Chain A
């Protein structure tokens, strides 16, 4: 009795995945055209990147500070506080930087992308564009997608830098670790390509995924105020799930 409904749900889920995939292809097809009028992409980088700086920097600072404090208490048990800088840097570069930035980015930028495009859909602006032979994929969606890919790695780097500053403040200035040990052990262990740049690739992938989900949810929202509200919620929820799952997969393959 339950079987047909379950099949229907499975079919719905598959259809959703397929729709996202097709949407990705149509974004990629619209990218060359949107690059020709790059102004909109620049404006989106400003909106999703530069406007997110305050939250990213504040959170990065506090994540670095708390990481330093926690690790200090743990490492004291092993007499290994000399490794504090190394552990903070590795965990920031490889995991926390890309992932926490992605979750913040989904909350800060992904929601506003969905709400903006969703309201365009609800107020028939997208249909109006199509009637004027203006392709909304290349004028509205593709610039946001590109901005997500561009802004996320930069935001993650800024997050990491501020995190290290926070770790330095707590570890060296407050808890009194030796400055040379803190940075010296870090520089002898952390590798550019395998640690830092892998984190940058990860964050670019997260940016693409979040922008894809956010624009898809906005573009396909039911044209009601309730529909836009649900679409915005779905953006955050599915971005978080997909980012964390993709993080595991990428870590398993890249590192």
Chain B
């Protein structure tokens, strides 16, 4: 009589373990937790006049390689531009401090990410530095507007962009 009872208890334990293993697997491997930085990171600041659909924890890429993620997105009340805080993995510490940041879209329907375009300065970014050269997210409406109205608005758009990135 004890034998069957023990076997169903073992089976129940196995079932519960299997269920929690599945939950842990799903939580850590298929959700955004998998993208959390494991190692040390340093943060950079970048101002954009328009961030489009960029979201917190979006990837930061250099030459297509993921080197960090977006920590937070805020609005600067003075310049009315978006402040994007970027966390970059300590392994990628050698990034020239005149590098630029731009917001790209991966594919037609893909998510937006921050792309770093390396510069040529001998000095490297340090923790808390600001990325001066930024390029905002490409807005389909702006593109259509430029196309319809011509060069005039394009100049205005550039003006606004350079204002925003100062």
Which A residues are within 8 Å of any B CB, using their own CB? 39, 42-43, 45-46, 49-50, 53, 78-80, 82-83, 89, 93, 150-151, 153-155, 157-158, 160-161, 164, 183, 185-192, 195-196, 200
Residues of chain A contacted by B26 (CB below 8 angstroms): 93, 157, 160-161, 164, 196
Contact partner, B22, options A49, A82, A150, A154, Cβ 8 Å: A154
Residues of A within 8 A of B12 (CB): 42-43, 45-46, 49-50
Which B residues are within 8 Å of any A CB, using their own CB? 5, 8-9, 11-12, 14-16, 18-20, 22-23, 25-27, 29-35, 57-59, 106-111
Question: Is B22 within 8 A of A158, CB to CB?
Answer: yes
A80 in contact with B31 (CB, 8 Å): no
Return chain B residues, CB-CB under 8 Å to A157. Answer: 19-20, 22-23, 26
On chain B, the residues within 8 Å of A49 by CB distance are 12, 15-16, 19
Smallest Cβ distance from A119 to chain B, in angstroms? 21
The CA of A208 and the CA of B46, in the complex, are separated in Å by: 49
CB proximity of B103 to chain A, nearest CB, Å? 15
> A85–B20 Cα gap in the complex (Å)?
22
CA of A191 to CA of B20 in the docked complex: distance in angstroms?
A: 18
Q: Are B20 and A154 within 8 A (Cβ)?
A: yes
Chain A residues whose CB sits within 8 angstroms of the CB of B27 once the complex forms: 192, 196
B31 smallest CB distance to A (angstroms): 5
| Contacting pair A78 B32 (CB below 8 A) | no
